[in-house]
Chains A and B, each alone.
Chain A
């Protein structure tokens, strides 16, 4: 026989457990508040005074990091580019960057088709570029890989009218697949539309930085 006291205790425990669950769910907020009560409060007299001249000097130092001449900013997440000069925008539009496809061949060779993030510089520029096909271009098509100097390695017209080399085999170039601009479909190079490529080729000198993020 359950007495009224026992019933009350059982009822209280159940209600308390429900309350505890609710408390656990909202715990981050009271935790934050309690920690802020106990944390040593900021002594406003101990904070350093802001030196306006030093702020201006730091701002100037930061502004000097922005290239004065033309440079290219490429978003590999949005597949867009911006051609900039200083802080001014010269041109923007869609591009294609690395597809992040990991190509695995049977003989333990593999390639990750990504566009490396960071800063690169234009190392050389050329018109009517010829694509020297690397091994993966044959392997991904299921074709036998020809020798290094083979005529099969050279393909004209697929890189558009211009190419700007950023080193390590990475290029800014054109594409016959204009409808795929804005999508991550390249093998690591930066593909631009014809008009954009012409503008970028004309604006960027050798040595100009390319910021890829």
Chain B
């Protein structure tokens, strides 16, 4: 038995390619079939589907690149009672504001953006709104406590434990046809699981911007925003 056999046993093609005569044409053709199938199902069809659904009549994303549109979005957001989120990639800051008053201004550590955002248009409505939010920490950190029956029982209870500050590693703000992804850079199983879901469960192409922020900023943004909250963006 060749000395490499125990190491190549789990990978028969390696072993066979070393030890036998391989017919290259059938090998290449049969190898190309699964790759081509995956390419069509997971890359080409979702890409075609997402491009087909770009609303042609919608406000051009290009307008969001302009300062004028960004400022108009912030003024419009200031009229609403909900906490608003604005992102200015030119100045590298994200801002939480309530009725126009900036309550938290956060410098961005780094930014990555979808390639689709740099060339495409027609994916952002006039005033993007938060459709849904998700993260690896609860949106409302509720702790359930049952009232004691009497004072004796209350006094025999251990003191109420103050919760540890929960640090998110990521939060995703979904809007119509776009996502803002906030990451703290630290690895976590929850984020890995979210990436898996993104890859397999929702293969549609969504233009995205990834903002790196400290966990405390991510927590403040995630817990302050709610569905329907206005968002203003200046992408370039």
What is the interface of chain A, defined by CB distance below 8 A to chain B?
Answer: 4-5, 7-17, 19-21, 23-25, 27-28, 30-36, 38-42, 44, 46-48, 50-51, 54-55, 58-59, 61-62, 65-67, 71, 73, 75-78, 99-106, 112, 114, 117-119, 139-143, 180, 183-185, 209, 211, 213
Contacts and interface: CB of A to CB of B under 8 A. Distances in A.
A33 B100 CA distance: 37
Interface string B125-149: 0000000000000001111111111
Contact of B38 (A23, A71, A78, A112): A23
Contact of B50 (A35, A102, A140, A141): A35
A187 to B, nearest CB: 12
A19 B32 CA distance: 9
Interface of B: 11-13, 16-17, 20-24, 26-35, 37-39, 42-44, 46-48, 50-51, 54, 56, 60-63, 65-68, 71-72, 74-75, 78, 81-83, 96, 98-104, 114-116, 118-122, 140-155, 160, 162-163, 198-200, 203, 205, 216, 219-220, 223-224
B12 A66 contact: no
B35 A211 contact: no
A101 B160 contact: yes
Nearest to A41: B119
Contacts of A12: 13, 26-32
25 contacts: A8-B27, A10-B30, A12-B26, A19-B31, A19-B38, A23-B38, A24-B42, A27-B42, A31-B43, A32-B115, A39-B51, A39-B120, A40-B120, A47-B63, A47-B66, A55-B71, A58-B72, A102-B145, A104-B144, A106-B149, A114-B140, A119-B99, A143-B154, A209-B101, A211-B103
Contact of A4 (B22, B33, B100, B121): B22
B224 to A, nearest CB: 4
